[in-house]
Structure 1
Amino acid sequence: MKTIAVIMGGYSSEYEISLKSGEVVYEHLDKDLYEVFRVHIFKNKWVVLDDAGNEYPIDKSNFSALIDNKMRNFDCVFNAIHGSPGEDGYMQGYFELLGIPHTSCTMYQAALTFNKRDLLATLKPYGIRSAENYYINKGDTVDAAQIVSKVGLPCFVKANRAGSSFGISKVYKSEDLEEAIQSAFKEDHEVIIESFLDGTEVSVGVITYKGEIMVLPITEIVSENDFFDYKAKYQGESQEITPARISREWQEKVSTIARQIYMVLGLSGFSRSEFIFKDGHPYLLEVNTVPGLTAESILPQQAAEAGINLKDLFGNAIEEALQK
C-alpha cells in the first residue's frame, strides 16, 4: 500500500480554498489502495494532521514525519496548494530534488503558468490570442494616460502572480487606476493591466487520464457580478454551466487550443485554462495548474460530466505521478 501525503494550505490568500480542496482529496482517495495523510503547509509550520487534530512536524530535509513513534516517508504527494508555494514551482522543485513523485506539473512549468505575463508571452508565437496588456512593477510611475491609450477602458488590473481573483479590479475611469494598482500590489509586486474583452467566458480542463491527454467538457461561466470575482467563484454568485452553451465549432476551436497549450508547455496532471470568446475567437486569460478540487469546483464538475468521479479523478492523478 502506497503512503500518500495530501499537501494543502500555502502562503497566499488562497490558503482557505486550498484547505477545502485538500480535505476533499483526502476524503475521496481510496483508503483500500492508499494510506493517506493530510499535510498542512504554512510559513510557520509544516505538519501532518491526524483525525484527532494532533500535529506531527515534517522534517523538511527529507519530507518525513514521526507519527505515533513510527517514521513515515511518503511514496507520492498529492498537491492541493493553490497559489504559493504549491502552484508557482517551489514545492515542485523541492519534491523533485528529493525524488518524491507529485501530482502537479514540473517546477518550470508551474512557475511559468503562475506568471501571467510570462505565460502569455511564451504562448504568443504559437498563435494563442490574449487581450492587449500593459505591465507595471512596484515603484514604477503610474501614467494613467499611457495605460488607457494602450488598453482602453474599462480594463482589468491584476496581480501578475495570484489566483482566485485576489488582487483583481475592473476599472472604468482613469482616476481609479492608481487605487486598483495599489490593491494588486498587496498580492504581488508585478501587475498586468488588460483590455476588457466583452464575450462568452469559458473554462477548459485538460488532464492526463489513463496515460492519455484528455480535454474535459467545457464550462460556461456566467457571473452575477461585474466579472468572475471571488464572490462569483466561491460564494455562489455565478452560474457555471457544463457543458457550455456554445456551438460545436466553438467547442472544437477552444478544446484544440487548450490541448495545444497543455502540450506546448509540457504540462502534466491537472490544468484549467480560462478563455473569453471575442468575434468567434477564444482569447486566453490564464492557465491554472492546481485548480479547485471540491465537488463544486469547475474541473471536478467537468470530470463528472465526462463520467469520472472524484475517487477515480484523484486516484488516477496519483497513479500518473507514480508512473512518471
Structure 2
Amino acid sequence: MHKILQYVIILKMKNIIILSGGWTEPFASLKSAKTVISLLKIKHSNAHIVNLDPADGLLNLRKQILDISPDVIINLVHGYWGEDGYAQIFLDKLGFPYTGPSFQEAHTSMNKHIMHELCKELSVPIPKSGYVSESKYIEKVHCYPHIIKPIRGGSSYGIDVINNENEKINHAAKDPILIYEEIIDGPELCIAIKKGKCLGTILIDHDDQIYTVHAKNTDENVRFIDPKIYGVSDKMLEDAKSYASKLYNHVNGRGIARIDFKVTDKPYFIDYNSIPGMVLIPRILKLNGYSDEDMIDLLIN
C-alpha cells in the first residue's frame, strides 16, 4: 500500500489510544505520548492518552479501553509493565490492534542476562560483564569503573556506578545476585530499526560516566551527532547495523526498536529498547530524512 494512502487511513481512524504510564517511567511515557499527539496532527478528540497505573489495577484501564473501542492502541509504556511483557499479555486479551513489541520480544529483550547470553550466541561484542553471586562478585570482579544493572530495567534507572573496591563491597551487600558490566569509554551509537531494517543512526556524546536519567530527561551536557561527522567509520556502522538486525530478528522484533552500542575499537552492545522513547526516535528519523508522516506510518503500520 502506498505510504500516502496509509497515512490517510490513519487520519481517518475515529479513535486512537496512546497508552502511557507504567511503573518505573511514567513521566518518560507521558513525554512520548505528547510527542506522538503532536506528530499525529489530528484533533485531541480522536486521540486519547490513557494511563496504565499498576497501582490502580487493570479493571479500570480495561473499562476505559473498551469504552473508547480504539482502531489502534499505540503502546508507549516504557520500562516495567510496558517493556517486560505484562502490557502485551493484557493487550492481547483485549483483542485490539496495538503497536510495539510482542510478549516474546518485550519479555526477552528487557532481561539483561538473557540478552548478554544471546549476544555471545550471535557473536555480538559486549563489554566485560557477568551474572554473579555476591561472593563471586567480591572475589572475581576487579574491572573499574563498572556498572551494576538491574536484571530488568531501562533508561538508566537502578544503575549504580562502581569506581573502586570500597564501593564494590558496599554495593554487594544490597543484592545476592548481580549483573555487572564494565564501562567502556566512548560515545553511544543508537540504531532505530524495524522489521530487521536499519531506519537510521545517531551518536550520543555526553560528559558523564554513563548516560544518566537526568541527562536523558534534560539533554544537559549531551550532544547528538551524525556518526559520520563524528568520524565513525563505514565498517563500524555496518557492523553495528548487522548486530542490531541479528538481535532484532532473533527476539522476533515487531515494531520500532532502538538498539544501543558503545563504539571504540568495535561496537559493543549495551541495551535493547523494545518501546524506545519518542523523543530520541524522531530525532534519529529526522536526521536520516524521514518526515512526520513517515514516522507515524512507521509507528502504526
Instruction: Calculate the TM-score normalised by the size of structure 2.
Output: 0.85
Partner of 1:275: 261
Partner of 2:179: 192
Partner of 1:22: 33
Contact 2:19 2:33 in 1 (8 A): yes
How does 1:53-68 map onto structure 2 within 5 Å? Answer: 57-59=60-62, 63-65=65-67
Contact 2:29 2:78 in 1 (8 A): yes
How does 1:1-324 map onto structure 2 within 5 Å? Answer: 1-2=12-13, 3-12=15-24, 14-31=25-42, 35-45=46-56, 57-59=60-62, 63-65=65-67, 72-136=68-132, 140-141=134-135, 143-148=137-142, 152-180=143-171, 191-208=178-195, 213-235=196-218, 236-244=220-228, 245=230, 246-279=232-265, 281-294=266-279, 297=280, 299-318=281-300, 320=301
Once residues 59 and 194 of structure 1 are traced to their aligned partners in structure 2, the CA distance between those partners, rounded to angstroms, is 39
1:69-109 C-alpha deviation (Å, 9 max, x unpaired): xxx21221101111011111111122122222211111011
Shift of 1:202: 1.1
Code of the aligned partner of 1:80: L
Change (3 A) 1:215 1:190: farther
User: CA RMSD, aligned part only?
Assistant: 2.6
Once residues 143 and 122 of structure 1 are traced to their aligned partners in structure 2, the CA distance between those partners, rounded to angstroms, is 22
Change (3 A) 1:142 1:121: closer
Shift of 1:24: 1.2
Query: Higher helix fraction: Structure 1 or Structure 2?
Result: 2
Partner of 1:69: none
Q: Unmatched 5+ residue regions in structure 1?
A: 48-56, 66-71
Contact 2:256 2:298 in 1 (8 A): no
- Aligned sequence identity (%): 24
1:181-226 C-alpha deviation (Å, 9 max, x unpaired): 577x6xxx86410123233431111124xxxx43133211211122
Contact 2:258 2:276 in 1 (8 A): yes
Contact 1:30 1:311 in 2 (8 A): no
> 127-136 or 82-91: which moved more?
127-136
Structure 1 residue matching 2:200: 3-state secondary structure: coil
Once residues 171 and 38 of structure 2 are traced to their aligned partners in structure 1, the CA distance between those partners, rounded to angstroms, is 39
Structure 2 residue matching 1:276: 3-state secondary structure: strand
Once residues 313 and 191 of structure 1 are traced to their aligned partners in structure 2, the CA distance between those partners, rounded to angstroms, is 38
Shift of 1:118: 0.7
Instruction: Calculate the TM-score normalised by the size of structure 1.
Output: 0.80
Change (3 A) 1:226 1:196: closer
